[in-house]
Amino acid sequence: MTIHKSVLLDETIELLNLKAGMVVVDATLGGGGHSREILKKIGKSGQLIGFDADMVAIKEFEKEIKKYNWRNIVLVNANFRNLTKELVKLEIGKVDVILADIGYSSDQLGDVRRGISFQVESPLDMRFDKNQELTAEKVINEYGQEELENILRKFGEEKFAKNISKGILKYRKEKKIKTTKELVEIIENSIPKKYHYGKIHLATKTFQAIRIEVNKELESLQNFLPQALNSLKPRGRLAVISFHSLEDRIVKEIFRENARGCICPRDFPVCLCGEVEKVKIITKKPLMAGEGELEINPRSRSAKLRVCELI
């Protein structure tokens, strides 16, 4: 049974503008919180296609499908970067709504076998898709110092990226780094003591950066968004919930790029560029969790919801 609480659930469902009979893609099934509410709105005449790279999430939701005898849902064990290819396989053309909640779930965070959390000792894995070869252990033990430093700085915005990458190489000369506990100790020993008492744990940014590298999360998001827009029917909506600034920046830029339209100088009498507005941005600013949700679910503090509609 899932322990995950879906973030911005009410706001998302309202902005998706769901109606009975719609075809909807939940591109990141996770614990299934959004999918359950979507099914209520689209009814038996609608169809839901749920994607997840994590087979555990798929199998858990399959139990609910059997329990409630849902017949209008298809589950796809694939990363959302493969959206177009998988919809073609299913012989599904354009859809009405697409949702992507691109944070990891509490179920994944709490799974000690994954090594996503630095708060429990576990193997350095961090994969969402257990079929892929790249793991956190491979990244930590096989990447060079400069490569590690770049990943920590780019994906984690880690101030002490150089210190930490040096500490990793020094440690692994003696022995292979295999557990989250070992990595946390390296991070703690690499950061000056006066910085040990900040608002967030010392290991937060490093673990985030390694997880993003292992799962190619930003690359997947950049690949997914154009596919999602191309898969929508006119007036179809795309909603994305992101959890850190790098993700939100990608979503914001792609939405704006598609909402821009003509880029000719204003003094041109007629448009020569041929660019047209493709989407209307529904959320001029990202929606964030209110105080009530923050009290119940502290993880929602960094969530940002952006929605656009295909013209």
Q: Which of 60, 52, 21, 54 is nearest to 38 (CA)?
A: 21
| Residue numbers of the domain that contains 295 | 9-107+217-310
Distance CA 192, CA 63 (A): 49
- Is position 3 within any domain? no
**Looking at the structure, do residues 206 and 221 belong to the same domain, yes or no?**
no
Q: Show which of 215, 244, 266 is a domain's final residue.
A: 215
**Looking at the structure, do residues 253 and 200 belong to the same domain, yes or no?**
no
Longest dimension (CA), the chain: 70
User: Between the CA atoms of 117, 119, 122 and 128, what dihedral angle is there, to the nearest 10 degrees?
Assistant: -10
58-67 mean pLDDT: 95
**Has residue 219 got a pLDDT over 70?**
yes
pTM of the complete model: 0.91
Query: CA 6 → CA 10, 30, 36, 115, 297, distances in Å?
Result: 9, 9, 11, 22, 9
- Is position 2 within any domain? no
pLDDT in tens, 174-188: 999 999 999 999 999
**Looking at the structure, do residues 100 and 174 belong to the same domain, yes or no?**
no
Q: Which long-range contacts (CB under 8 A, 24 or more apart) does 70-74 make?
A: 70/39, 71/44, 72/39, 72/42, 72/44, 72/45, 72/46, 72/47, 72/48, 73/35, 73/39, 73/47, 73/48, 73/49, 74/47, 74/48, 74/49, 74/50
Pairing type for strands 95-101 and 23-26 reads parallel
Q: Which of 209, 165, 200, 205 is nearest to 186 (CA)?
A: 165
User: Phi/psi at 162 (nearest 5 deg)?
Assistant: -65, -45
User: Taking CA 23 as the corner, what is the angle to CA 287 and CA 278, rounded to the nearest 5 degrees?
Assistant: 55
- Is position 283 within any domain? yes
Burial of residue 294, with CB atoms counted within 10 A of its CB: 0-12 exposed, 13-18 middle, 19 or more buried = middle
**Looking at the structure, do residues 203 and 248 belong to the same domain, yes or no?**
no
* pLDDT score recorded for residue 127: 93
Q: Are 24 and 87 in contact (CB under 8 A)?
A: no
pLDDT in tens, 101-129: 997 655 555 556 667 888 889 999 999 88
* pLDDT score recorded for residue 112: 63
- Is position 152 within any domain? yes
Q: Could you write out the DSSP letters of every residue in 77-118?
A: -S-GGGHHHHHHHTT---EEEEEEE-SPPHHHHH-TTT---S
**Looking at the structure, do residues 121 and 208 belong to the same domain, yes or no?**
yes
- Is position 4 within any domain? no
Domain count, the chain: 2
Distance CA 268, CA 85 (A): 41
More confident residue, 26 or 272: 26
Q: How confident is the model at residue 1 (pLDDT cuts 50, 70, 90)?
A: very low
Average pLDDT of the residues of the chain: 92
Percent of the chain at pLDDT above 70?
A: 95
62-83 mean pLDDT: 96
**Has residue 2 got a pLDDT over 50?**
no
- Is position 1 within any domain? no
CATH number at 65 reads 3.40.50.150
Percent of the chain at pLDDT above 90?
A: 79
Distance CA 253, CA 231 (A): 19
222-234 mean pLDDT: 98
Q: Which of 12, 1, 177 is nearest to 103 (CA)?
A: 12
Q: Show which of 215, 230, 265 is a domain's final residue.
A: 215
**Looking at the structure, do residues 223 and 191 belong to the same domain, yes or no?**
no
